[in-house]
Amino acid sequence: MQFSLFSTLLFIGIIQGLVTSVILLLTKHNKRSNRFLAFAILALCLLSTNRILHSLGLWHTHYLRFFPSSAEVLIAPSFYFFIIYLLHSNRKFTWKQALHFLPFAVFQSYSFFVYFYTLTTPSLYEKDLIAESLHFGFIKNIIEEGIGNTLTVIYTALGYKDLRSYRIWLKNTNADNSYPDFSWLWRLFTLCIILVAYLTTGHLLHVFFRLNDVFTLHWDLFSIYLAFVVYYVGFAGYKQSHVEVAINMTKNLKVNSSNITKSEVQNIAHLLEKSMMQDKLFLNPTLSLKEVSDALDVSQRNLSYTINQHFQKSFRELINEYRIEEIKTQLNDENLKKRSIFGIAMDCGFNSEASFYRVFKKNTGSSPKEFLHANSH
C-alpha cells in the first residue's frame, strides 16, 4: 500500500473535513445551518474515503469490499438545507422536509445490506458474484450516481434561487452592512456545476464508449478536485460558523415596474436627496427601505423604483454612497484627524469593518489610507 499524490491530498482533506465537522456540530450559533453543513462535509469525506479505498487497493480486501457508502445522494440536500437555515435561522425543520433525505436512506440501506450480506463470504470472487446477483454494479454505478448528479443539479438550482432572492432583498431593502452577502456560496455553486458536468461526462464516456483509460484519469482528476472542494468548504464553513441571519423576506419588490409618472419620480428623488442631506438618515447603521419610505411618506415600491430608475442604483448602494461621502468629508476635517478611520466610519453608518473597507475601495478606487495620503498635500 503506497500513498499517491491523489490519496495524500484526499487524506488531508478528510482529516480537515472531520475536524471542521466536529467544530460545526459543537458551535452554539445557528445550530441547524451548521449541522447540515457538517453533514455535507462528512458526506464529502465519505466520498473521499471511497476514492482512497480504490486508489490504495483497499477495496480488494475482505472487510472493505463493498464499503457501505451512498454519500453521493446526501451531499446535495444537506447543502441545500444548510443554505435554507443559513438565510432563515429561525425556521423549524419538519418531517416533510425529512423526505428530501429519502434517496439517501434507501441507497444507504441497500449499501449496508450488500456489505453485511457478503461479509461472511471469504472469497472476493464469491463476494462479487453475490453482489452482482443483487445488481450492485448497476444500482451503484448507474442508478445511484445518476440520481446523485440529478439531485445535485436540482438542489443547486433551488439553493441558487433562494440565495438570489436573499441578495435581491438585501440590495434593494436593507442598508445594514452587518448582513453578509455570502459571496463564497456563489463560488460554491460554480464548483458544484463544474463537478456535476465533469462527473456526468466521465460517466457517460465510460458507460457508452467503455473508455477505461479516460475513466481512470477521470477519477484521478476527480480526486484532486474533490480534495480542493473539501478544503474550500471546510475553510469557508468554519469562517461563517458564527453567522446567524434571521429574516422574514417578503416578496421582492419589482423595482423595474411602477405606475408613477416621471414627475412623481423627480419629486420622490428630490425628497430623498433632501432627507439625506438635511436629516442624514444614512447615519442609521440598520437603515431599511421601509424606514426611509415612512420618513418620506411614500410607498416602498415607488421609492425603490425611483432609486433604481433615477439614481441607477440599488437602495444599499445609494445609502453606502452617502455614507462614503460623509466619511470623506470627515477624513479631511482637521479636527477629526486623531480619530481612527473605522471610528469615523461607524459614526457615518457602517457597522462592519470589512464591508466599510470594501465599499470605500469600490466607491473611491483607493483605500481610506491612500485617500488620506492623496488629500494630505
CA 100 remoteness from chain centre: 19
Alpha-carbon dihedral sign for residues 94, 18, 227, 217: negative
- Could you please report the per-residue DSSP string of 232-256? HHHHHHHHTTT---B--PPPPP-TT
**C-alpha cell, 88:** 432563515
pLDDT of residue 195: 72
Task: Please name the residues in contact with 246: beta carbons below 8 A apart, sequence gap of 6 or more.
Answer: 88, 89, 90
pLDDT of residue 223: 64
Measure the CA dihedral 185/187/189/193, to 10°.
Answer: -170
* pLDDT tens-place values along the chain, 377 residues long: 666 777 787 788 888 889 888 988 888 777 888 899 899 989 988 988 888 888 788 889 999 999 999 998 999 999 999 989 888 878 888 889 999 999 999 999 999 999 999 999 999 999 999 999 999 999 998 899 889 888 988 998 899 899 889 989 999 999 998 888 888 888 878 877 777 777 677 666 666 666 555 455 555 666 677 667 777 777 776 666 555 565 555 555 555 556 788 999 999 999 999 999 999 999 999 999 999 999 999 999 999 999 999 999 999 999 999 999 999 999 888 777 778 999 999 999 999 898 999 999 999 999 999 988 887 65
Residue 88 φ/ψ, nearest 5 degrees: -135, 75
Cβ neighbour number for residue 138 with a 10 Å cutoff: 11
pLDDT of residue 23: 87
- CATH fold, domain 5-239, is Rhopdopsin 7-helix transmembrane proteins (1.20.1070)
Is the CATH number of domain 262-374 3.60.90.10? no
**3-class SS of residue 65:** coil
pLDDT of residue 356: 94
Q: Which residues pair with 288 in a beta bridge?
A: 174
**End-to-end CA gap in the chain:** 68
Buried b (16+ CB within 10 A) or exposed e, 186-213: eebbeebeebbeebbebbeebeeeeeee
Domain ranges of the chain: 5-239, 262-374
Helical (H) or strand (E) element with 344: helix 341-347
pLDDT of residue 47: 86
Q: How many CA atoms, within 13 angstroms, populate the side-chain half-sphere of residue 139?
A: 18
- Could you please report the per-residue DSSP string of 70-131? -THHHHHHHHHHHHHHHHBTTPPP-HHHHGGGHHHHHHHHHHHHHHHHHHT---HHHHHHHH
Contact 258, 302 (CB under 8 A): yes
Contact 57, 130 (CB under 8 A): no
Q: For helices 353-364 and 315-331, give the axis angle rounded to 10 degrees.
A: 90
Dist CA 43 CA 154 (whole Å): 18
